[in-house]
Structure 1
Amino acid sequence: MVRRRRLQLTGLANRRVFEYELRDACAQAMEVGAPVCVAVADIDHFKRVNDTHGHLLGDQVLKLVAKVMRTELRDSDMVARWGGEEFALLFPATELDTAREVCDRLRAAIARRRLTDRATGARVGPITLSLGLATYRYGEPLDTLLKRADTSLYAAKGAGRNRVMTEEEERAGLVGV
């Protein structure tokens, strides 16, 4: 039997690696007094893509989103596959406004991409992304930081999807775009 190395679908780090990098970034931030931001991103209406076009095309969407993320993020940033159609992004030594700009640029770059189902010729898309963004508070449990980013993600989805929502916007009831 020939053993073949199996690569992850997206080529991105997994949740475990992300959590390790997040712990490291937050520890370093506390030492030097630097900010750290985290975003949780979700592909909008991903279930509809799978239900309409099949899981193989859904896999292509995941690969496309991962590729755009790797291309659009700065060298200092990190993206990981969080689970299913969710991704987590880490912005070490980055203020919230800058992380928001990066997330919005990423969101727009993905929304510009179009896929075609080669089997049927049907256009898939646009592919859109909703993102929730939060800033690390020195000493807080990392689960709390991730929960705040996730809450902002759900606020972005509730406000119409295809948008970035910071924790401040979410708390104030503002609609980010």
Structure 2
Amino acid sequence: MRFYRATTFLFPRHYEWRILLACFAAVLSPLLALATYQWATGAWQPSLLLGLFAASLVAAGLGMLAIRALLAPVARATATLGAIHRGEAVPPLPRGGDDLVGQLLRAVAVAANGSAIRNPTLSTDTDHDALTGLHSRPGFLDLSEKVLSGDSNSVIALIDIDHFQSINDRFGRAAGDALLRAVGHRLERGIRRSDLAARWSGEAFVVLLPDTQLDEARLVLERLRASVALDPLLGPESTGNAWPVTFSCGLAPVRAFSHLGDATHRAHAALNAAKNGGRNRVRIAGNG
């Protein structure tokens, strides 16, 4: 840190340029030493000096290009952190190795995913949602990091109960809470044992389907959607079970934990498309 602070006067807004300058100085130092020796001894060899100077310039240029390329992931991580701070959607980060840059990319990916799925209406103190008994967002994120530790085809699904606010407004908060519990239990029973379900927001849920193709995930969610839509017992009791309960769903593929934030944004766009298309349907991100 001392050397870093001592060199901040050199290109104070461009850290990478200071590294390139240090590389250039290191490459040229042998040439300067040779020139000093020849000057001190009087044994000038201009052709040798010019040849070494040209070779040093080429080596310095190649070294600078290599260092600039090696610093690209750091620049990408810095830009991602800036987007997180501004509350913007962030693209998936590249996967790094086990070195220092790889550790940085993984840490930024965790921050990006935490920002993408953060919701202040849900408690962050426990791993489970108190109302539905499903995983909370923090619990879902922790388990997702383990489930998506490899590189395989997985799918994330965002589920939103249709017209839930109307149920709350017309029949009261207690009826809405009872419906959330009922749908949460139905969701937990309707997904596969390998799948991961959690509460997403007030009336929405999230499901991670590991090692699953999009078509397979759509069949699972379509089957669950139909079972909810055809069950009259899910309606608020005060209506005589006459109020239909349905949900809309958006699906998006995800291959790694570092891509989860981007996948949730795409699934949310698909969910909005399902709502705009009439609700009570499942949409895949990017599909019509």
**TM-score band w.r.t. shorter chain:** 0.7 to 0.9
Q: Hey, what's the Cα distance between the residues in 2 that align with 1:47 and 1:15?
A: 21
The correspondence of residues 131-170 of structure 1 with structure 2, limited to 5 A, is: 131-138=249-256, 140-169=258-287
Structure 2's unaligned 5+ residue stretches are: 1-128
Identity across the alignment (%): 38
The correspondence of residues 57-96 of structure 1 with structure 2, limited to 5 A, is: 57-96=175-214
Aligned to 1:3: none
Aligned to 1:47: 165
Higher relative contact order (CA 8 A, sep 6+): 1
SS of 1:27 mapped into structure 2:
coil
Higher strand share: 1
- Structure 1 residues 53, 134: closer, same or farther in 2, change over 3 A? same
Could you tell me whether the CA contact under 8 Å between 2:251 and 2:284 is conserved in 1? yes
- Structure 1 residues 139, 57: closer, same or farther in 2, change over 3 A? closer
Structure 1's unaligned 5+ residue stretches are: 1-6
TM-score, normalization by structure 1: 0.83
Q: Hey, what's the Cα distance between the residues in 1 that align with 2:143 and 2:250?
A: 19
Q: Hey, what's the Cα distance between the residues in 2 that align with 1:42 and 1:116?
A: 16
TM-score, normalization by structure 2: 0.52
How far is 1:23 from its partner?
A: 2.1
Q: Hey, what's the Cα distance between the residues in 2 that align with 1:159 and 1:80?
A: 25
Q: How many residues align?
A: 160
How far is 1:138 from its partner?
A: 4.8
Q: Please state if 1:11 is matched with 2:133.
A: yes
Q: Hey, what's the Cα distance between the residues in 1 that align with 2:209 and 2:196?
A: 7
Select 1:103's aligned residue among 203, 210, 221: 221
SS of 1:160 mapped into structure 2:
coil
Q: Hey, what's the Cα distance between the residues in 2 that align with 1:94 and 1:11?
A: 25
Q: Deviations over 1:12-56 (max 9, x none)?
A: 00011111222222222x1xxx20100000000000000111010
- Structure 1 residues 164, 117: closer, same or farther in 2, change over 3 A? closer
Could you tell me whether the CA contact under 8 Å between 1:49 and 1:124 is conserved in 2? no
Higher helix share: 2
